[in-house]
Amino acid sequence: MHSNTPDNRPQQDVSQKNSALIPQTAAFFSQHELPATITRVTWLDRVLVNKMLNVLGNPPLQIKLWDGQIASSACKNPLAVVSFYDRGALLKIIIDHELHWGELYCSGRVKFEGNMTSLIEAIAHAVQARGKMSFLRKAIQWFSQRRNSNSPDKARQNIHHHYDIGNEFYKLWLDREEMQYTCAYFPRENMTLEQAQQAKLYHICHKLQLKPGDTVVEAGCGWGGLAHFMVKHYGATVTAYNISQEQVKFARQRAAEEGLNDQLEFVLDDYRNIHGQYDVFVSVGMLEHVAVQDYQELGQIIKKCLKPEGIGLIHNIGRIVKQPMNPWIDKYIFPGAYPPTLSEMMQVFEPNELAVADIENLRLHYSKTLQIWIQRFEQNLPLISKMMDEKFIRAWGLYLQGSRAAFNLGKLQLFQVVFNHMQNNAIPRSRLHIYQQELGEKTPAEKFH
Amino acid sequence: MHSNTPDNRPQQDVSQKNSALIPQTAAFFSQHELPATITRVTWLDRVLVNKMLNVLGNPPLQIKLWDGQIASSACKNPLAVVSFYDRGALLKIIIDHELHWGELYCSGRVKFEGNMTSLIEAIAHAVQARGKMSFLRKAIQWFSQRRNSNSPDKARQNIHHHYDIGNEFYKLWLDREEMQYTCAYFPRENMTLEQAQQAKLYHICHKLQLKPGDTVVEAGCGWGGLAHFMVKHYGATVTAYNISQEQVKFARQRAAEEGLNDQLEFVLDDYRNIHGQYDVFVSVGMLEHVAVQDYQELGQIIKKCLKPEGIGLIHNIGRIVKQPMNPWIDKYIFPGAYPPTLSEMMQVFEPNELAVADIENLRLHYSKTLQIWIQRFEQNLPLISKMMDEKFIRAWGLYLQGSRAAFNLGKLQLFQVVFNHMQNNAIPRSRLHIYQQELGEKTPAEKFH
């Protein structure tokens, strides 16, 4: 299903195009018109439209109904036009837009023209200015706090749902070198995605003070990019755990081809089965897939597997304000995932006497990463549409754009947490060492280009 | 009571002497022998001594009783000799050493020869290896979690107790430039205390991206060192709040003498009365004096007083594992103080949509700071003993040494937290700017020497 190296896919470099996002996903499918329903538009439908816009804080948005007419009050400079193809769709959005928007958009019962990221941001700002939350949202929020633990079986299903949909698809829009499906690091303007992902990998290795001979355990290794990088550029020995079959298969094949098997082992297993002791523990983009009530157990595993003078790093999407996952994302994109607040994350560390040494918030770096992913995704729509159906593509476009809006709005954050055993006094004197290396080079990744 | 500049006190530079701590406090008072009680030492006293040592994990310690004889079992290379002058003292230590050690040591009913910091560390390691906590300690811990809020009146009393005991006393052992009674920053070996306190002030200003014309509000300003520094070296305008009369008097006098009154205002008031809006909020060493249940209110005040694109920084002593303050410290040194965990500290930020941008843990920098404070304190004992009574001096020596041990053991941490409004997208791209400035100079403070 997938090729052996990440390089034999269409070459394009769109990272320089930092212009406003072009909403091509919707346009790409504009030829697939759904038959309009024959129900007549009534005055009540128009009242409902304007009531809904009022509840949303009157964002700069035009609403078209199934008669093809604009039903919303006059709006100067609309960011977007949303078309409803039947009354049911309109009612569903009115009841809970966060839950139903994704479903209706993906099935084509609602259509969208304009800049979706900007529109989501405008609605969020308008709703916040109004300061109201629907009873239903509150109820969902309350209910969602009673989350179930992700058992190893459930975790495997959840991960399979998102990561095993085909490496070829991910290759079309992730960086070419290490297929990093996590936030890149753009310390300087105008870095390409490839440079910024390399800079991220260096940044992590600098924080971990990685050196030749270090033993590393990685929990949740994606396509093995970080593990590969640590072996290749630092001479470390890495044992990387992952429960995504497709990803592990890809990573193992690459390691074998490059003759790295002695130093690079990929284990198709749950992080709960990590054993042995290591100089470094690292986990990038996995904590989001661990339920909060399992954090303390994760910390126990880290405590056990980290040598007395070892260093650990967790990199994950998080939040400032505790909130359940968007219900549509939870259902269709990332089942069982949850971005925690720092106070929730402390359950990994504090009960296990793991001392937080350093936390960095890279929120806007994820917005920039997503911007480039979206550009590449949209430029590759002709290829992607040969692999995936229309519903999938609409969903994916919505997920990427919605995520970018969430990072821009501060609804999502990106935390990098460095930690060590509480009693470890062999910790670095300061963080100068991280930046000594990064400032010594023009960009950390340039040496590879 | 105090002089106008911090420079007319005995000049000494002990910061280079990084040798093991010399426990001069005890030796200084060795001529003040208490009359030994006439109670006979029995076999039961000796059994109790050895039982106590056993509970403490048999640290390398000799115990002398009131007959002048060593009562403990043979111990190779003892770190210290502790002498009990009556049976009551021995029993009190057995019941709860954390509570009674300070009282008995300060009153002279227990005497100590050796390296106190090392001994405290050795006992902590031994007790942890045993993994047991007395029922009484557990009960105290439970009870202590029901803490009362520090009302403005109570806060004033608490602060008066510690900070209004005489500026002349603090001048004898704090750094000469800015009288910083908080953790210094030693990014390089062999910095003097003065250099490291300047480096700390620069480090904070770099993190805050301070620039000329910025308006700053400071909550809890000590003797005004940071506020003074920000005005003098950055051209900022600072409004600094403090409820310690002695400190504010000192800070105001200095500002007046240097003609800085236009840009530097000291307000003798509680942080709860901060008003107006500022580019920067900063608080160094105050959070420890705020009760955890008041954190959310503190965050509300910060949220209100910080401009939309403002940056804030809180620097405070904290913990990894939630624990009440040592009862002796709470009673005699810092009434009402509490070092929080990061999860507790998040109550300042998360409910108020303040996004944590950066957390740095400077734990071992506080150990080094305390090491120099202790050296200067001990070298100035002849002068200090003319200002303070013996009980005070013993208590202060114990507090400084116990604190150093706690930082060495990881029982105390030092957090610097940088934050901004959750929706502020004008945040710096990375932390490079902090280190660009610090790496551009040999040591950040050298330009002033």
Closest by CA position to A250, among listed A199, A183, A179: A179
Query: Which tokens go with B9?
Result: 């006190």
Closest by CA position to B26, among listed B350, B276, B262, B374: B374
How far off is chain B from A27, nearest CA to CA, in Å? Answer: 30
Decide if B358 and A356 are in contact by the 8 Å CB cutoff: no
Smallest Cβ–Cβ distance between B422 and the set A410, A425, A432 belongs to A410
Closest by CA position to B412, among listed B295, B358, B334: B334
How far off is chain B from A348, nearest CA to CA, in Å? Answer: 11
| DSSP-derived pairing of the beta strands A215-219 and A110-114 | unpaired
Q: Which residues contact B89 (CB under 8 A, 6 or more apart)?
A: B100, B104, B109, B110
CATH code of B38's domain: 3.30.1050
In a domain, A10, yes or no: no
Q: What pLDDT, in 10s, does the model give residues A66-88?
A: 998 888 887 878 888 999 999 88
Q: Which residue, A127, A144, A161, sits at the end of a domain?
A: A144
- What gap in Å lies between CA A62 and CA A73, rounded to an integer? 8
Decide if A431 and B429 are in contact by the 8 Å CB cutoff: no
- The residue of chain B nearest to residue A426, with distances taken between CA atoms, is B364
Torsion angle (degrees, nearest 10) of CA A166, A172, A177, A179: -40
Tell me the chain A residues in contact with residue B188 when contact means C-beta distances shorter than 8 Å. 429
Residues A140 and A171 grouped into a single domain? no
Decide if B431 and A427 are in contact by the 8 Å CB cutoff: no
Tell me the chain A residues in contact with residue B431 when contact means C-beta distances shorter than 8 Å. 360, 431, 435
Tell me the chain A residues in contact with residue B429 when contact means C-beta distances shorter than 8 Å. 186-189, 364
- What gap in Å lies between CA B65 and CA B67, rounded to an integer? 6
Residues A287 and A305 grouped into a single domain? yes
Smallest Cβ–Cβ distance between B359 and the set A322, A359, A434 belongs to A359
Residues B261 and B197 grouped into a single domain? yes
What would you report as the CA-atom Rg of chain B, rounded to the nearest whole angstrom? 23
In a domain, B3, yes or no: no
- What gap in Å lies between CA B196 and CA B181, rounded to an integer? 12
What is the extent of the structural domain holding B82? 24-144
Which residue's entry shows tokens 């992700």? A150
In a domain, A76, yes or no: yes
Smallest Cβ–Cβ distance between A361 and the set B353, B357, B436 belongs to B357
In a domain, A281, yes or no: yes
In a domain, A15, yes or no: no
Residues A378 and A239 grouped into a single domain? yes
- The residue of chain B nearest to residue A358, with distances taken between CA atoms, is B360
Of the CA atoms within 13 Å of residue A81, those in its CB half-sphere come to 11
Decide if A320 and B438 are in contact by the 8 Å CB cutoff: no
Strand partners, A419: A312, A356
Residues B119 and B164 grouped into a single domain? no
Smallest Cβ–Cβ distance between A350 and the set B321, B364, B410 belongs to B321
Residues B233 and B172 grouped into a single domain? yes
Residues B197 and B328 grouped into a single domain? yes
What is the pTM (predicted TM-score) of this model? 0.85
- The residue of chain B nearest to residue A429, with distances taken between CA atoms, is B187
In a domain, B82, yes or no: yes
- What gap in Å lies between CA B347 and CA B201, rounded to an integer? 26
- What gap in Å lies between CA B347 and CA A228, rounded to an integer? 39
CATH code of A254's domain: 3.40.50.150
What phi and psi values does residue B35 have, to the nearest 5 degrees?
-65, 130
For residues B79 and B114, is the Cβ–Cβ distance under 8 A?
yes
Mutation for B interface: A371, A407, A422, A434, most B CBs within 10 A: A422
For residues B94 and B121, is the Cβ–Cβ distance under 8 A?
no
Residues B297 and B231 grouped into a single domain? yes
Per-residue pLDDT in tens (0 to 9) along chain B, 449 residues: 333 333 333 333 333 333 333 345 545 555 444 455 567 888 888 888 888 888 788 888 899 999 988 888 878 788 889 999 998 888 888 877 777 888 888 888 888 888 888 888 888 787 777 665 554 455 444 444 444 567 788 777 777 777 777 888 999 999 999 999 999 999 998 999 999 999 999 999 999 999 999 999 999 999 999 999 999 999 999 999 999 998 999 999 999 999 999 999 999 999 999 999 999 999 999 999 999 999 999 999 999 999 999 999 999 999 999 988 888 888 888 888 899 999 999 999 999 999 999 999 999 999 999 999 999 999 999 999 998 888 889 888 889 999 999 999 999 999 999 999 999 999 998 999 999 888 875 433 334 33
Residues A189 and A120 grouped into a single domain? no
Residues A178 and A306 grouped into a single domain? yes
In a domain, B350, yes or no: yes
Per-residue pLDDT in tens (0 to 9) along chain A, 449 residues: 333 333 333 333 333 333 333 345 545 555 444 455 567 888 888 888 888 888 778 888 899 999 988 888 878 788 889 999 998 888 888 877 777 888 888 888 888 888 888 888 888 777 777 665 554 455 444 444 444 567 888 777 777 777 777 888 999 999 999 999 999 999 998 999 999 999 999 999 999 999 999 999 999 999 999 999 999 999 999 999 999 998 999 999 999 999 999 999 999 999 999 999 999 999 999 999 999 999 999 999 999 999 999 999 999 999 999 988 888 888 888 888 899 999 999 999 999 999 999 999 999 999 999 999 999 999 999 999 998 888 889 888 889 999 999 999 999 999 999 999 999 999 998 999 999 888 875 433 334 33
**C-alpha distance across the termini of chain B, in Å:** 29
Decide if B350 and A430 are in contact by the 8 Å CB cutoff: no
Tell me the chain A residues in contact with residue B435 when contact means C-beta distances shorter than 8 Å. 431-432, 434-436, 439
- What gap in Å lies between CA A316 and CA A299, rounded to an integer? 15
In a domain, A9, yes or no: no
How far off is chain B from A19, nearest CA to CA, in Å? Answer: 18
Residues A51 and A195 grouped into a single domain? no
Decide if A361 and B354 are in contact by the 8 Å CB cutoff: no
DSSP H or E stretch at residue A310: strand A306-318
Residues B289 and B377 grouped into a single domain? yes
**C-alpha distance across the termini of chain A, in Å:** 29
Decide if A358 and B359 are in contact by the 8 Å CB cutoff: yes
Q: What is the ipTM of this complex?
A: 0.84
- The residue of chain B nearest to residue A347, with distances taken between CA atoms, is B343
Torsion angle (degrees, nearest 10) of CA B367, B372, B373, B376: 160
- The residue of chain B nearest to residue A432, with distances taken between CA atoms, is B435
Q: Which residue, B144, B161, B185, sits at the end of a domain?
A: B144
Mutation for A interface: B422, B427, B433, B437, most A CBs within 10 A: B422
**Count: domains in chain B:** 2
Decide if A321 and B425 are in contact by the 8 Å CB cutoff: no
- What gap in Å lies between CA B301 and CA B151, rounded to an integer? 15
- What gap in Å lies between CA A199 and CA A446, rounded to an integer? 9
Torsion angle (degrees, nearest 10) of CA B423, B432, A401, A198: -160
How far off is chain B from A36, nearest CA to CA, in Å? Answer: 40
Q: Which residue, B121, B144, B167, sits at the end of a domain?
A: B144
Tell me the chain A residues in contact with residue B356 when contact means C-beta distances shorter than 8 Å. 320, 342, 359, 361
Decide if A356 and B439 are in contact by the 8 Å CB cutoff: no
Tell me the chain B residues in contact with residue A186 when contact means C-beta distances shorter than 8 Å. 429-430
How far off is chain A from B272, nearest CA to CA, in Å? Answer: 24
Decide if A320 and B353 are in contact by the 8 Å CB cutoff: yes
Strand partners, B149: none
Decide if B425 and A439 are in contact by the 8 Å CB cutoff: no
